[in-house]
Structures are given as structure tokens and as C-alpha cells.
Amino acid sequence: MKIFTTRFDIEQHLLQSRNAGKTIGFVPTMGALHQGHLSLISQARQHNDEIVCSIFVNPTQFNDPKDLEKYPRTIEADIKLLEQAGCDVLFNPPVNEIYGGNDHWRLDIGETEFLLEGKFRPGHYQGVMQVVYKLFSIVKPDDAFFGQKDYQQFLVISKMVDHFKMPVKLVMCPIMREPDGLAMSSRNVHLTTSDRLHALVLSRTLNWVRRNFNINDMLRLKSEAEQMIEAEEDVELDYFEIADGETLHPATERSKTIVALVAAKVGKTRLIDNVILTTDS
């Protein structure tokens, strides 16, 4: 696996790859890799000739400096995992290689930015769009792979790509879970043993909603799901929504895709999860 830390070097390398007729698959990450990330590498391998992963803890998407400070950084272990997964290129730039200090960014994508996660993390999605735009401009991938766990993020990035008419196909990959159902997340390392058990209420509730889903009974399902989570010790619910998969507004019988999304603080760690309930795509 080749490792690049500067924009110039990776751009030169990938230019040679494209000139050789290779397609580029891209998996942008913030490191602290787990099997969920590696599943994205595997998906990319099935679709593209050369696989690029970026590891960059993006400061502009953290609205809490303490959250940025404590975000896990495990670059040596990450490199080993990427090599084992068959990744071809790692882009691991310092902050000053991505941001010049005079960056100004504000992209209006409508209300998607402000719903659900956007309410609790103001400015977060502006930072996400900013860094993904920069990374796409550097890597120029044919396909880019993201996890379903960050469902709203995928919608936001899709709107950004449409706005700039960027020639990249976005691919949403299924959530990877631990054997007990907990959605894999870099933040799981912060869970205590007790937190870990309490966190299972999220996937347990989502599965209950999926099993009992009835399009004519969504308000009751939402209410009961909220009660199930709020009854769990050391779990503070931010939101539980049964939403239209395109708008993130509460779902209706006209919604083509319906998604149940949840966010909660378990102990001191904030977790998100979701499950797709219906889709006609």
C-alpha cells in the first residue's frame, strides 16, 4: 500500500493511474478503523481497479472542541488493517495540507442540514461537505463509498455532489454490526462495559420497529420506541424518528423509502443508528 501525505503527491500518482485506464474507488474516513470501514474497502474492491482510503480527522465538522480532542487516533493500527484489507493507497494529510487558513465555505443545501443530527450538531454538515468536496477534488474518484449508519450524511453529501455536478457515483453500504447487534462505530471504544450493554437498546428498538412496522401505525410505533429507549438506564434519547428517506421529514404513506433513525447519549458517548424499513428502489 502506498501512503501519501501531500495533495501534490497523491494527485500525481492518481493521474498516472487514470492515464493507465484504472478506475478509482474512494473510502473517506477519520480513522480509528473497524470492520465497518473495511467492508467499504471490500465493496470498493468489487467495483474499482484502485482503492484509495483517506484518514483525516476533520476539524471543521466538530462543533465541540472537546469532541475533536478525544476522537480516537490509531494510525499505526489503521495502516495494518488497510494493508490486510487490500487497500492500494492511503491519503493521510496534516490539517494544513487540506485547509489553508483562509478557507471560506457556506453551501445552502436546504433544510436537510438542519434536521435530526443538524439540530444537535449545528454546523456539522457544513464541515462534512467542505472536507468531502476538498477530498473529492483531490482524489477525483469514479465511485465513493459511505456507510448507511451515517444516513443523513449520505443525503447531505449527495446534495453537495449534485450542486457542483461532481462526476462521482456515491454508494451507500450496509451497516456492519457486532454479533449482539451494536452498530460498529469508532466511538464505541469510549463505552464502558456497562454502557456497552445499555447501548444495545438502540439496535433492539430499531429491530422491534422493523418487525412490527405498519405504515398506518407509525405514530404509535415512534411513541413506543421512544418509551423503550427512555426506560433504559444511562441512556439519554436525542431523537427517534420514522422518516421519509429522501426528506427526513416524518414519513407518510407516500414516502418511497422509510427509515427509522435514532441518536442517544449512552453514558458519555453519543451514538447513532438506523434501519431502512421500506424502499422501492
CATH number at residue 242: 3.30.1300.10
Let me know if residue 252 belongs to a domain: yes
Note whether 19 and 129 are same-domain residues: yes
Let me know if residue 127 belongs to a domain: yes
Termini Cα distance of the chain = 36
Q: Which residues are catalytic?
A: 37
Choosing from 112, 144, 173, the residue where a domain stops is 173
Q: Give the residues of the chain that fall short of pLDDT 50.
A: none
Residue 61, C-beta contacts closer than 8 angstroms, at least 6 positions apart: 123, 124, 125, 126, 127, 128, 130, 131
**pLDDT for res 281:** 57
For 169, the domain range is 2-173
How does pLDDT run across 160-178, given as a tens digit for each residue? 999 999 999 999 999 999 9
Let me know if residue 103 belongs to a domain: yes
Note whether 48 and 118 are same-domain residues: yes
- Point out which residues pair with 240 in neighbouring strands: 262
Note whether 70 and 166 are same-domain residues: yes
Q: How many domains does the chain have?
A: 2
Let me know if residue 279 belongs to a domain: no
d(CA 147, CA 142): 17
- Specify the length of the chain in residues: 281
d(CA 177, CA 179): 6
Let me know if residue 178 belongs to a domain: no
Note whether 83 and 206 are same-domain residues: no
Q: What is the layout of strands, in order, in the sheet containing 50-55?
A: 2-4, 89-91, 50-55, 24-29, 143-147, 169-173
**pLDDT for res 279:** 82
| Among candidate residues 185, 136, 179, the one with its CA nearest the CA of residue 31 | 185
Note whether 144 and 213 are same-domain residues: no
Note whether 192 and 150 are same-domain residues: no
> Global pTM?
0.95
**pLDDT for res 103:** 82
Let me know if residue 281 belongs to a domain: no
Choosing from 173, 197, 221, the residue where a domain stops is 173
**pLDDT for res 124:** 95
Let me know if residue 180 belongs to a domain: no
CB atoms within 10 A of CB 118: 18
d(CA 124, CA 55): 18
The CATH number linked to 84 is: 3.40.50.620
110: left (phi over 0), alpha (psi -120 to 50) or beta: left
Note whether 128 and 18 are same-domain residues: yes
**pLDDT for res 101:** 77
Note whether 24 and 70 are same-domain residues: yes
